[in-house]
Structure 1
Amino acid sequence: MEKTGLRADARRNRAKVLAAAEEAFAADGLAVPLDDIARLAGVGAGTVYRHFPSKEALFQAVVLERITQFTNEARGLAAADDPGEVFFEYFGRVIKQASLNRAICDALTEAGGIGFKADAGDDFRAAFGLLLERAQAVGAVRADIDGDDLRALMVGCLAVERYSPGSRHLVRVVVDGLKTR
């Protein structure tokens, strides 16, 4: 998310820091030092600190941006013609993308949604929940699954992908268990 009111060079530096942080956090999660992010961005550590007072603030900005993208994508799919197909494709895409990015994976799997603002997490859950409800309404997804169940299943799938990379068949087992037919 771009911060308004900044000079053009400051906006460019902030964008470079966010891009470098996304790459670094994807690989190493919160363990990556801020100096490494500054080096990746081609800026000094002071520039990073001017935009983000702590590593946690930078992490939150990166994660918030990605969670917002997931949310917007779900909202855009809410009126799709085939709610069941859209739900399962979206579920799989979120699992795949999040499992490749340690920061996003960490944020989605933490109890209470640490790593991104509560309202962003609530927005994501609501948008994903709408896809679930629409898929259930057409009989594509079991009716006894709610948003909390869906989150737990997503966390389980992320754990499978994280600790057993390439085990896509295990995620398919979960997806098959969600289906009514």
Structure 2
Amino acid sequence: MNRIALAAVAAAALAGFIGGGVYLAQRGPGDDRFAQCRTGRIGGDPAQLGGPFTLIDETGAPVTEADVITGPTLIYFGYTFCPDVCPLDNSRNAEAVHLLDGRGYEVRPVFISIDPARDTPELLSEFTGYMHPRMLGLTGTPKQVQAASRAYRTFYRIQDADDDYYLIDHSTFTYLAFPDLGVVEVFERDVTPDEMAERVACFVDSF
């Protein structure tokens, strides 16, 4: 995906995110237990993101958001055939989780496929297995994947293609979610593993 396409994708997703309301305008600093953990780079309210979903895990079993978000969880939407962005982003997420493991924080990385036609549970298991032993891959029917994507206000669009080697334009945010609270933070692509680990640890401590 070229820079122009990536910028357009990110802008579309960010516009939907900001549409949920300006976080700092709605709540004062004293009302936010995570205020010291936020960077303020994204102005939308994270609480407007996320919601119920039903997907299929790497064993083919149906799961809901309650089954998946049982503790601190990093969620990313992508696909295994992605040539560069998805492997890099998920490697970053996995490295951050490894760093957190070393500090005694157990965080679950989750990879939700936006390509159910190609990403079988078996293929997802292989992909996540390369990243981190706790990374969970999820897929589902096209309608189930679309519903999960809409809940998190992500964007994806399959490029025109006449064969099985099509690419998908998509947003590239990583979401930090907690049980009962839902999404509490959104990480952009330029956040390093060390920065992500440090900020996630802050959120966990504040939780």
Instruction: Please state which band the TM-score falls in when normalised by the shorter chain.
Output: under 0.3
TM-score, normalised by the number of residues in structure 2: 0.24
Q: Which has the higher contact order (CA 8 A, sep 6+)?
A: 2
Q: Which structure features the higher share of strand residues?
A: 2
TM-score, normalised by the number of residues in structure 1: 0.26
Q: Which structure features the higher share of helix residues?
A: 1
